[in-house]
Each structure stands twice: as structure tokens, then as C-alpha cells.
Amino acid sequence: MAGAQGSALALAVCAAGGVGSLPAAMLSPEALQAELQVLRQQAQGPWNVNFFCHPAPTADDAAEARWREALRPFYDEAGIDQASVPAGAGRVPFSHATADLVEPFAPPVVSFHFGLPAPELLARVKRWGSVVLSSATTVDEALWLQAHGADAVIAQGLEAGGHRGMFLTTELGTQLGTFALLPQVVAAVQVPVIAAGGIADAAGVRAAMALGASGVQVGTAFLCCPEASTSALHRAALMSEATRHTELTTLFSGRPARGIVNRLMRELGPLNPAAPAFPLATAAVAPLRAHFESLGRTDCTPLWSGQNTSGCRPVPAAEVLSGLARGLDSDALSPSAGSASA
């Protein structure tokens, strides 16, 4: 979960018998290297590193100007001069340069969001021995991932927190809830299917397994664990009734992602067409986010959250994991069973 955790949560999940994930999408090369060293030295059982593999955007001055114009009331209120705000990409896709850095660590699992890297780059990841996962939000995406080399597919239902992994379409009407998507993906592909989205307790795990999942991926339920790096403001929102209203929004990055509705989403509309292509929307919002956060407010903060926050508790990740694991057969949770991923 990029921006909400590092190796500490991944290690805690691994130690408790799950497959902990390190989100790499927002890490500098130096930070990624340091985190990989920690995981290699300390992880018990298999661990996962997650990358984004979106097409790199082309800077578009006119689109950037439209976006800043849409944000003008917030800049004016915050007393920030728009001209002083640098544009920037924010998140870089997986590349050969990243692969150079990752290869010596040969992570047991590498997962991707937004499809898969180019064939030659993916072949490189597979050559060093990592099991490759990626998210599918439709049956078509699951078939595409299988055909292009994914070893297992994550069926990411509409309930999921954070970015939709969608990559064959931008049409939100194609997106399915977990328990509609999962059995159809299971029927369509031969590779194992991991269920994601809205799973927060043993009953959710049991339901996913009954619908043919080989494992589950859980994000939101780990966000309030002490091992996560979720901010205090985000934690407070996750523990409040505000979680009853989440929406998909493009305002914070340019791609749809699910978060708790806040003032920016209410006033601009969560899918405002002025938001530029992923990930270019991020830079112009960043100083606004910082300004309001300095006042203890989340007006412009992405409060990523799935629809089901009933599993969010300020308890160690091992406790969340053991609660989820009660939904598995009693012998299924072992370091090689791959039951949950933070």
C-alpha cells in the first residue's frame, strides 16, 4: 500500500504467516534498495514487492494549467502562489533501471498494478525467479494477464481501497464488485486467483475461498496497525463514521482510486475531468495537502480506504492476520500458503 506502509508492515505479515508486500511505487531508488535489504535479511517466508507499470505520461502544459485553474480557490484560501508549485511525475513505472536494482534480491514474489511491464522486461523478472502477480478488475483483464505471463491473478473488486488496477479500459461502468468478479475470473483462467476488495475478517476470507479463490489480498484492514505508516489524520478518518462514504476519485493522481470523501472531492467532484493524466495530478495537490494537514485538516488529503473498514483496528498486524486466517482451513496458514498480503 504505497504511501501507507513500508517494510515494517510487510515483515509483520510475513512473520505471522502471510505474504507481506512492500509497495515500491513511491520509493526513491535509494529507499527501495534499503527496504529490499531489510526484507532480504529479516523476512520469514515469502515476500512481495509491488510496482506500478503505467505508461509514462507526456507533460501537457495546457492540461496542467486547466488543473491548476480548477484548484485556484484552494490555492487562494491557502495563500499559495501557483507559480511556485513545481510540476512533477510523482510515481515512476517499473523500468530496466528498477530491475537492475531489484535483480540481486530476486524477491520471491513481484506484483504489478496497471497491467504488466513490456514483454522483455517481464521476461527478465521471471528469469530471476520471481512469481509474478498482477491485478485484474474485469474478466478480460484476467485473461490478458494470463496470456501475457502472470503466474496468478488478483481479482480486484470495486470495493477495494486505493487505486483500481484497471488497464484495458478507463470505463468505470465495467468494474465489478469482488463477489461478482471473483467467480467469473476463476471460471475464465487456469492460473490461481487471489481475491481482493472488501475482505476484512474470517467470514470474508471463507466466502472468497468458497467462490474459488486460492488466497486473498487485504489492504484496508491493515491500515490502522501500528506497523503501518498511515498518518494520524488518516487513521482518525478510518476509525470514524466518515468511512461510510468512500468514492472513486481521480483528483489525487489522475487514475481512479477509492478513498474517504473529503472536501476536495466534494467541491470539485471526485472524477473532475480537469485532473490530468496519471500520475500528473499529484504535484499540484501536494502543497494544498501539506497546507491543510499543517492545520490538522484533511481537506486535500487522499484518505485511501476500501468500502469495508470493519477490520480497521489499532492492533498488531499479526492479530489482524490471525483473525483473517480463521477463515482458512486450519492447516492452510503456513509460511508457504500465501494467505494474505498487506
Ligand X SMILES: Cc1cc2nc3c(=O)[nH]c(=O)nc-3n(C[C@H](O)[C@H](O)[C@H](O)COP(=O)(O)O)c2cc1C
Which residues sit at the interface with ligand X, rule CB under 6 A?
1-2, 4, 23, 25, 50, 113, 135, 156, 159-163, 196-199, 217-221, 304, 306, 308
Q: How far apart, in Å, are the Cα atoms of 70 and each of 84, 150, 298? A: 17, 39, 18
- Residue among 272 and 307 whose Cβ is closer to ligand X: 307
Give the C-alpha separation, 125 to 112, whole Å. 11
CB of residue 220 to ligand X, shortest distance in Å = 3
CB of residue 250 to ligand X, shortest distance in Å = 15
Residue nearest to ligand X according to CB distances in the complex: 219
- Residue among 159 and 201 whose Cβ is closer to ligand X: 159
CB of residue 212 to ligand X, shortest distance in Å = 18
CB of residue 164 to ligand X, shortest distance in Å = 9
CB of residue 155 to ligand X, shortest distance in Å = 10
- Residue among 80 and 261 whose Cβ is closer to ligand X: 261
CB of residue 334 to ligand X, shortest distance in Å = 22
Give the C-alpha separation, 135 to 152, whole Å. 9
Residue 139, Cβ density class (10 Å: 0-12 exposed, 13-18 middle, ≥19 buried): middle
- Residue among 160 and 333 whose Cβ is closer to ligand X: 160
- Residue among 105 and 112 whose Cβ is closer to ligand X: 112
Give the C-alpha separation, 165 to 108, whole Å. 21
Task: Give the CB-side neighbour count of residue 6, counting CA atoms within 13 A.
Answer: 14
CB of residue 253 to ligand X, shortest distance in Å = 11
CB of residue 320 to ligand X, shortest distance in Å = 11
3-state secondary structure the chain: CCCCCCHHHHHHHHHCCCCEEEECCCCCHHHHHHHHHHHHHHCCCCEEEEEECCCCCCCCHHHHHHHHHHCHHHHHHHCCCHHHCCCCCCCCCCCHHHHHHHHHHCCCEEEEECCCCCHHHHHHHHHCCCEEEEEECCHHHHHHHHHCCCCEEEEECCCCCEECCCCCCCCHHHCCCHHHHHHHHHHHCCCCEEEECCCCCHHHHHHHHHCCCCEEECCHHHCCCCCCCCCHHHHHHHCCHHHHCEEEECCCCCCCEEEECCHHHHHHCCCCCCCCCCCCHHHHHHHHHHHHHHCCCCCCCCCECCCCCCCCCCCCHHHHHHHHHCCCCCCCCCCCCCCCCC
- Residue among 1 and 13 whose Cβ is closer to ligand X: 1
CB of residue 81 to ligand X, shortest distance in Å = 31
- Residue among 130 and 156 whose Cβ is closer to ligand X: 156
- Residue among 11 and 25 whose Cβ is closer to ligand X: 25
